[in-house]
Amino acid sequence: MALWDNINSLETLQRLCERCRDCSLAMTRQTVVFGEGNPSAKIFLLGEAPGAQEDACGRPFAGRAGEVLDLLLAGAGLTRQDVFITGSVKCRPPKNRNPYRGELAACRPWLEKQLALIKPEIVVCLGLVAVQNILDPKAKLAEVRGRWFEGPGYWIYPTYHPAAVLRSTVKAELPAADLKSVAGALSKMQPGLRPYPRPASSG
């Protein structure tokens, strides 16, 4: 516990994370994909897990889904430099499977420390894995997508993963509208106050 208390920068946290061996994903990874972006970002994008390209280069959303994400951000008047992007786990699961619950749990302290250091106003969950990891393990994306939920010090806003657009399971207009809603909500927030948006009921 004292170790976590003494970490006061993302750079220090990343150096420690790159040595993490807390779950079996460490045995098969090439690279720890810690995350990147604005260290003081008000919008924190939480994805699922690194894929092959991310594992090779160490950057989140480095492949085709990343190209879609860049377009969605641009449509909301944002760039990668405006946000911080990371995954629910920092290492690639074999064959791009979804991370297991134990792997998510092992990686959760790294995520929580990232949130504590960055202090975002809004956490955007990209896809079901992220939603179930940070909001509710039983959540259904179709039921929570596009709704606001109050988290511990930040708002949570679930939307679709950019890969869903590539698979043509959702139209790009839906996550595009969601990111515009997030950008619009952020512009109405006042520093130190959280009057907007109002949280949706989660039960």
How much of the chain is helix, strand and coil, in % rounded to 5? 45, 10, 45
Listed in sequence order, the residues at least 6 apart from 187 whose beta carbon sits closer than 8 Å to its beta carbon are none
For each of the domains in the chain, give its residue range(s) and CATH number, in order of start: 2-187 (3.40.470.10)
pLDDT in tens, 54-96: 999 999 999 899 999 999 999 999 999 999 999 999 999 999 9
pLDDT for residue 183 is more than 80: yes
Which pLDDT band, with edges at 50, 70 and 90, does 203 fall under? Answer: very low
Question: Side chain identity at 33, as an amino acid letter?
Answer: V
Give the whole-angstrom CA distance, residue 100 versus residue 79.
Answer: 31
The DSSP output letter for 26 is: G
Which pLDDT band, with edges at 50, 70 and 90, does 189 fall under? Answer: confident
pLDDT for residue 157 is more than 60: yes
Listed in sequence order, the residues at least 6 apart from 27 whose beta carbon sits closer than 8 Å to its beta carbon are none
> Is residue 139 within 8 Å of 158, Cβ to Cβ?
yes
Question: What is residue 155's three-state secondary structure?
Answer: strand
